[in-house]
C-alpha cells in the first residue's frame, strides 16, 4: 500500500506540472487583458480626452510581467511562476494586491460550509431514493424519483437560484436575498452562527436540488445492476428476507462503484459554486474566482485552478484507496 501511494504521489507531481503548463498558456492567451482593462479604466476616468502615454503602458506591462506575449515569452513567464511556486508563493493578486494563497484561505471557508452541508443532505436524500426506485422499478415511486432526476439535471443554477431568491426572499421575505450575514444585526456567538446559516439556506437548497438528480440516477442504475446478479437471486431462493437481501447483500456491493464519486468530492467541497455564489452574493471562493477571471487576474486564476487540480488528483488517489477498503478483492500494487 505504501509503495503504491508513493508511486502515485510521484505521478501526481508530473500531472500537476503538465496541468499547470497548459493552464498558464491558456490563461495568457485569453482575449481579455488586465493591463488593457486598467488603461481603459484610466482613460474613462479622465473623460477620454487624452490617451495614456506609451511609456506608462510599457511600464505597466513590465510591472505585471506581461510585456512579452510571444510563445517563448509565455514559457519564460511560466517558469518564473513555477519558480515562485517552488517557494510556496502563488503570487500576488493584480486586483487586490494581496497574496493569492491568503485570499484562497479567506474565501474557501464559506464555499466549504455550503458544499459540506449540501453534500451531506444530498447523499442522505439521493441514496435512499435511488435504492427505493431500484427496488420498485416502474412503480409510482420510480417515476417520482425520475422526475427529481430530470429536474436536478435540467435546471440551470442561475435560473433556479434567481427563481427561489425572487420568491422566498423578495416576495415572501422568508429568507434574506443574499450576502453572508446581517451586519446591522450586531450578532455574536451562537446568534451569529444561526444568522450565517439562515443566509446560506437558499444557496444550500439550490446546491442540493441541482446535485441530487445525478446521484439518485447513479445509485438507481448500480442498484438495478446488482439486483439482477446471480448471487442476489440465490440469496432470495434461500429464503432470506427481502430487506436483508437489499441492504446487506445488494446495497453493500452497490457502494463499490459509488466510491468512484469520492474522486470529485474533495474538489467539490472547496471549489465553490460560481454561479450560485454570484446569484446570492456570497463571498465564496467560486465567486472570487469568477471575478478574477472577468478581470484577467492571472495569479488568482492560476492559484485557483492549481488548487483545484491538486484536490482533484488527491481525490482520485483517495478514491482508489477506498476501493481496497470497500472491496477486499481489490489489490493495490
In the numeric block, which cell numbers belong to residue 112? 466549504
Radius of gyration of the chain (CA): 25
CA angle 21, 26, 30 (to 5 degrees): 150
Pick the closest to residue 203 from 152, 272, 269, 266 (CA basis). 272
3-state secondary structure of 106: helix
Does one domain contain both 66 and 116?
no
Residue 93 lies in a domain: no
* Phi and psi torsions of 92, nearest 5°: -120, 135
Number of continuous H segments (helices) and E segments (strands) in the chain: 15, 0
Q: What is the pLDDT along the chain (333 residues), one digit of tens a residue?
A: 677 778 878 888 898 999 999 999 998 888 878 888 888 777 776 655 456 677 877 888 888 888 888 888 889 989 999 999 888 888 899 888 899 999 999 888 888 888 889 888 988 888 888 888 888 888 888 888 888 788 778 888 888 888 998 998 888 888 888 777 776 666 777 888 888 888 888 999 988 888 888 888 888 888 888 888 888 888 888 888 888 888 777 877 777 767 777 667 778 777 777 888 888 888 889 889 888 888 889 999 999 999 888 888 888 887 777 776 666 666 665
What CA dihedral angle connects 14, 266, 279 and 164, to 10 degrees?
150
In this predicted structure, what is the pLDDT of residue 246?
83
Does one domain contain both 113 and 25?
no
Residue 149 · residue 236 · CB < 8 Å: no
Does one domain contain both 151 and 197?
yes
Last residue of a domain, one of 37, 60, 86: 86
Last residue of a domain, one of 42, 63, 86: 86
Q: How far apart are CA 100 and CA 105, in angstroms?
A: 9
Q: Which domain holds residue 47?
A: 19-86
Q: How far apart are CA 176 and CA 283, in angstroms?
A: 15
> Which residue's entry shows cell 409510482?
140
**Helical residues (DSSP H) of 165-189, grouped into ranges:** none
> Which residue's entry shows cell 425572487?
166
Does one domain contain both 197 and 124?
yes
Last residue of a domain, one of 58, 86, 114: 86
E strands in 13-114: none
| Domain at 245, CATH number | 1.10.3720.10
Cβ partners under 8 Å of residue 300, min gap 6: 93, 94, 95, 100, 103, 288, 289, 292
Does one domain contain both 52 and 199?
no
pTM of the model: 0.81
Does one domain contain both 119 and 184?
yes
Does one domain contain both 266 and 170?
yes
Number of compact structural domains in the chain: 2
Does one domain contain both 192 and 271?
yes
Does one domain contain both 27 and 156?
no
Pick the closest to residue 174 from 205, 209, 207, 202 (CA basis). 202
E strands in the chain: none
Amino acid at each position: 500500500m505504501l509503495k503504491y501511494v508513493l508511486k502515485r504521489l510521484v505521478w501526481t507531481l508530473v500531472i500537476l506540472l503538465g496541468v499547470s503548463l497548459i493552464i498558464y498558456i491558456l490563461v495568457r492567451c485569453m482575449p481579455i487583458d488586465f493591463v488593457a482593462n486598467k488603461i481603459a479604466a484610466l482613460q474613462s476616468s479622465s473623460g477620454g480626452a487624452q490617451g495614456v502615454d506609451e511609456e506608462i503602458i510599457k511600464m505597466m506591462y513590465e510591472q505585471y510581467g506581461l510585456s512579452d506575449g510571444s510563445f517563448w515569452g509565455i514559457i519564460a513567464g511560466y517558469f518564473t511562476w513555477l519558480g515562485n511556486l517552488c517557494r510556496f508563493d502563488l503570487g500576488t493578486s493584480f486586483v487586490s494586491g494581496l497574496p493569492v494563497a491568503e485570499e484562497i484561505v479567506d474565501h474557501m471557508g464559506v464555499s466549504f460550509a455550503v458544499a459540506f452541508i449540501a453534500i451531506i443532505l444530498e447523499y442522505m436524500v439521493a441514496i435512499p431514493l435511488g435504492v427505493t426506485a431500484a427496488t420498485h422499478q416502474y412503480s409510482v415511486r420510480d417515476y417520482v424519483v425520475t422526475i427529481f432526476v430530470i429536474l436536478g439535471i435540467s435546471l440551470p443554477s442561475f435560473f433556479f437560484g434567481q427563481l427561489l431568491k425572487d420568491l422566498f426572499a423578495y416576495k415572501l421575505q422568508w429568507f434574506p436575498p443574499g450576502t453572508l450575514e446581517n451586519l446591522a444585526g450586531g450578532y455574536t456567538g451562537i446568534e451569529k452562527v444561526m444568522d450565517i446559516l439562515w443566509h446560506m439556506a437558499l444557496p444550500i437548497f439550490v446546491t442540493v436540488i441541482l446535485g441530487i438528480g445525478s446521484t439518485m440516477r447513479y445509485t438507481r442504475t448500480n442498484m438495478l445492476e446488482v439486483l439482477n446478479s446471480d448471487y442476489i437471486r440465490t440469496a432470495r431462493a434461500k429464503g432470506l428476507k427481502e430487506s436483508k437481501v437489499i441492504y446487506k447483500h445488494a446495497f453493500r456491493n452497490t457502494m463499490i462503484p459509488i466510491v468512484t464519486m469520492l474522486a470529485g468530492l474533495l474538489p467539490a467541497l472547496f471549489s465553490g459554486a460560481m454561479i450560485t455564489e454570484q446569484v446570492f452574493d456570497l463571498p465564496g471562493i467560486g465567486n472570487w474566482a469568477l471575478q478574477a477571471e472577468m478581470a484577467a487576474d492571472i495569479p488568482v486564476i492560476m492559484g485557483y485552478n492549481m488548487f483545484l487540480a491538486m484536490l482533484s488528483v488527491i481525490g482520485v488517489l483517495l478514491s482508489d484507496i477506498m476501493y481496497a477498503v470497500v472491496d477486499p478483492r481489490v489489490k493495490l500494487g
